[in-house]
Structure 1
Amino acid sequence: MSGEILFLAHRLPFPPDRGDKIRSHHILKALAELAPVHVGCLADTHEDKEHEGELEALAATHCMPWRSKPVSVAGFEALVRREPVSLAAFRSQDLQDWVRVTLAQRDIRAIYVYSGQMGQYVPSDWAGHLVVDLVDVDSAKFEAYALDRAGPRGWIDAREAKLLRRVEATLAANADATLLVSEAEAGLLRSRTTTAHDIRPLRNGIDCAFFDLASVEPHPAMKDGAPHFVFTGQMDYAPNVAAVTRFAHAILPAIQRGADDAHFHIVGRAPSDAVRALRELRGVTIHGAVPDVRPFIAGATIVVAPITIARGVQNKVLEAMAMGRCVLASPEAATGIDAKHGEHLVVAEDDRAFATRALHLLARPAEREAIAADARRMVLDTMSWQSMLCDLPRLMGFGNDHSRDAA
């Protein structure tokens, strides 16, 4: 098939420095090798506007209006329209108009929708090829939130879960292919709809050349020989907030009873008030936004991922494995990664197991380093982005031998 591609993403795919942007960035680059790509996305921050030139250099055309709608307005719209708040929050008339003009004026043969919020921009009468990348089953995440929260917030999350589930089923029914980040997520969506044509996993890869321990020095604060535990991630994201709060309050003190100088480093942008409050605890440092997470991963004795609400694949785990660091993770954080407990990473089911296994690994550096080395080898052998995206041309309706030069 010849023609051009429309790529719709809820956030700018530059720079690839957080989970959702990493996946969209590499997929967009791969699509640009197939055909001219027209990109519609939304800007959240002034930093996004600073990186717009990178998008302009890659895309044939693009549109990136501000996502400036207040949460209260999005909530009111969602109630009136009886739709998820997620859809109202990412609705832009400017982007809708641009999509309509682009489809009318360009030879668009295929649309790639990245994240369920962006499915609303596909016209109901679209007859071309459609691929929807939900990444995760978001409705299940809100179901978990609703179980954890009481009162009005719990009702809001339950409502969001119910309405998102309908949206996901409708998108899957209309798409030629619906993609999820893991087989577990794909299986979950299959169990929630009977009308989808093709639901399959498209797993995340990892940039093994960038995440290479040999290419970076450990952070100076982590060269003192003490045990350093590191968590990386967007620190206003509720599952990450819950994970670091859990580790700082329930796990770190138990570790410190056996390793008094153990230190916990929380690395990531936009730390919430709850995260910032953790700096009052002994041995906890909040680093906030950093230009490069690799020095912190390189300096880590153990990278931890004590996440209890997790959908899909955790990029933070892949990045640490790629850098040859030992990862101690919850079962939820390890889901979707073909890694074996005790060989490529260590899994801990509860707080007591986290502390016990952390102390075990601290006391056995040779075992810890063997696990880290095997993790790096596994990622190199099986999880490059090139390997993960090799089937993308066929999924988009282009032959595997199709390239942009041949269009």
Structure 2
Amino acid sequence: MKILFIAPYVPSRIRVRPFQIIKELAKSHEIHIVALDESDGTSTIGIEEIRDVAASVDIIPHSKPKGLLQALLSVPLPLPMSAAYCWSQQMQRTIARVTSERSFDIVHVEHLRAAHFAPFGIGVPVIFDAVDCLTSLFRQMARSKRNLLARSILALEAAKLAYYEPRVLQCFDWVVATSDSEQAALLSLKPGIHVTTVPNGVDTAYFAPMGTTKTPRRIIFTGKMSYQPNAQAALWFAQNVFPRVRARWQDAEFVIAGSNPPDSIKALAGIPGITVTGYVEDLRPQLDMAAVAVTPMQTAVGIQNKVLEAMAMALPVVASSLATRAIGHGAPGIIEANTPDEVATAIDQLFANPQRSIELGKQGREFVERQFSWNAAVERLEAIYNELLAKKH
């Protein structure tokens, strides 16, 4: 079938969900992509892999200053700032041109920020990959902020999303989410809509142990650091847990690997034992050198790709219950810990028993190989496409 894939960011190894979904779909279908790009070029890593498999790719440049101005102007309006940020007339014109030049069987729209680009009037089923429930995410973020201004801005955005998100959901023929908890959250906003869980997977051929010599007491946290929940988690660990670990293990290291770290994260590099890498083109060597991965999320929705990737690299993972909720509590290879004492104790036990670390890492990799393949995820998506097409005919 011919599929038009619309996204508010470039599908790449940074934006792994659309990247992997497109790669899998392209094995059997003709994929045409229209996506915004407001990055400095770092978000396009792997885009050539997408160009190689897609029938056409239109990347629309979108400047950050323009996006921020649009978000600011939307403050008194019902439109969420995150959606206003991504508005682009050029994107809209490109979608109009593409849909006038070609006929499609399915339109697939990724994320709430691209929902306003959906071409509903062309007589084709339109599916919406919500990914996560943004109303739920922003409510969590607002509650977690101590700064009054930041909390007020996030609470305002949460209120806007609570109005906007259910109205978006009802427009689409089908909605997809990354986990059962996100499915439930979306249904609570708009009961009666069709919502199906299509979980994230992990590319276990790409993310696999590389045989790098381990740094025995290196702890790693990975993620796009401009994403506030990631920065919050890294800061929480550095301030509340790492000093306890360092007091017991003086050679302990904490590596924060991810693009666009804010100043609060960059400042951590001044603390002995902490390294802030910034953008890393290939995370695998960083993961392969580490002894343990941590994911102490204080705010989280959906599946944490960073957990799946660390498990695929055969790393033991110490994660908060929020980070493991969508993967499954008690999953092999993960130690669930929430308080600073619990996290520090879990790491201490792994450092003291390297053989247990190896065994947990092996169990985690075997688990994701069985349970989190992208092929299985895309088969669920294809079943939705086929059901929508059957209804149409």
TM-score > 0.5, shorter chain as reference: yes
The C-alpha deviation readout for 1:228-255, integer Å capped at 9, x for no partner, is 1111111222111111111111101111
Aligned 1:171-190 pairs, distance under 5 A = 171-190=168-187
**2:317 match:** 327
- How far did 1:359 drift? 1.0
* 1:98 and 2:73 aligned: no
* 1:269 and 2:267 aligned: no
- How far did 1:344 drift? 2.2
Question: Conserved in 1, the CA contact under 8 Å of 2:314 and 2:362?
Answer: yes
**1:116 match:** 112
* 1:74 and 2:75 aligned: no
| Partner SS state of residue 391, structure 1 | helix
Aligned 1:355-374 pairs, distance under 5 A = 355-374=344-363
**1:155 match:** 152
| Partner SS state of residue 286, structure 1 | strand
Question: Conserved in 1, the CA contact under 8 Å of 2:11 and 2:47?
Answer: no
Question: Conserved in 2, the CA contact under 8 Å of 1:112 and 1:131?
Answer: yes
| Equivalent position amino acid for 1:188 in 2 | A
| Partner SS state of residue 32, structure 2 | strand
Question: Conserved in 2, the CA contact under 8 Å of 1:216 and 1:294?
Answer: no
Match of 1:229 among 207, 219, 239: 219
Question: Conserved in 1, the CA contact under 8 Å of 2:38 and 2:64?
Answer: no
Aligned 1:197-216 pairs, distance under 5 A = 198-213=194-209, 215-216=210-211
- How far did 1:188 drift? 1.4
C-alpha distance 388-45 of structure 1, shift in aligned 2 (>3 A)? same
**1:287 match:** 277
Question: Conserved in 2, the CA contact under 8 Å of 1:132 and 1:171?
Answer: no
* 1:299 and 2:294 aligned: no
Question: Conserved in 1, the CA contact under 8 Å of 2:144 and 2:299?
Answer: no
| Partner SS state of residue 225, structure 2 | coil
**1:7 match:** 5
**1:142 match:** 138
Match of 1:217 among 212, 216, 220: 212
C-alpha distance 283-380 of structure 1, shift in aligned 2 (>3 A)? same
Identical aligned pairs, as a percentage? 27
4+ long deviations beyond 6 Å? none
| Equivalent position amino acid for 2:261 in 1 | P
Answer with 84-93 or 289-298: which moved more.
289-298
* 1:58 and 2:53 aligned: yes
Question: Conserved in 2, the CA contact under 8 Å of 1:111 and 1:129?
Answer: yes
- How far did 1:129 drift? 0.9
| Equivalent position amino acid for 1:100 in 2 | A
| Partner SS state of residue 389, structure 1 | helix
- How far did 1:388 drift? 1.9
Which residues of structure 2 form unaligned runs of 5+? Answer: none
- How far did 1:72 drift? 4.2
Answer with 4-13 or 151-160: which moved more.
151-160
| Partner SS state of residue 333, structure 1 | helix
Output the CA distance in 2 between the equivalents of 1:190 and 1:54.
35
- How far did 1:399 drift? 9.7
C-alpha distance 209-256 of structure 1, shift in aligned 2 (>3 A)? same
| Equivalent position amino acid for 2:277 in 1 | H
Which residues of structure 1 form unaligned runs of 5+? Answer: 401-407
Question: Conserved in 2, the CA contact under 8 Å of 1:63 and 1:95?
Answer: no
Answer with 60-69 or 301-310: which moved more.
60-69
- How far did 1:112 drift? 0.4
Give the TM-score of the pair, scaled to structure 1: 0.88
- How far did 1:53 drift? 5.0
- How far did 1:274 drift? 0.6
**2:27 match:** 33
Output the CA distance in 2 between the equivalents of 1:316 and 1:50.
17
Aligned residues: 386
C-alpha distance 300-55 of structure 1, shift in aligned 2 (>3 A)? closer
| Partner SS state of residue 108, structure 1 | coil
Question: Conserved in 1, the CA contact under 8 Å of 2:222 and 2:258?
Answer: yes
Answer with 120-129 or 387-396: which moved more.
120-129
Answer with 71-80 or 59-68: which moved more.
71-80
RMSD: 2.2
C-alpha distance 54-349 of structure 1, shift in aligned 2 (>3 A)? closer
| Equivalent position amino acid for 2:373 in 1 | S
Output the CA distance in 2 between the equivalents of 1:353 and 1:50.
36
Output the CA distance in 1 between the equivalents of 2:272 and 2:260.
22
Output the CA distance in 2 between the equivalents of 1:128 and 1:79.
33
* 1:391 and 2:380 aligned: yes
- How far did 1:358 drift? 1.3
| Partner SS state of residue 97, structure 1 | helix
Question: Conserved in 1, the CA contact under 8 Å of 2:23 and 2:50?
Answer: no
Give the TM-score of the pair, scaled to structure 2: 0.91
Structure with larger RCO (C-alpha < 8 A, sep 6+): 1
| Partner SS state of residue 170, structure 1 | helix
- How far did 1:115 drift? 0.6
The C-alpha deviation readout for 1:33-74, integer Å capped at 9, x for no partner, is 343222110112342578665544333333222111525411
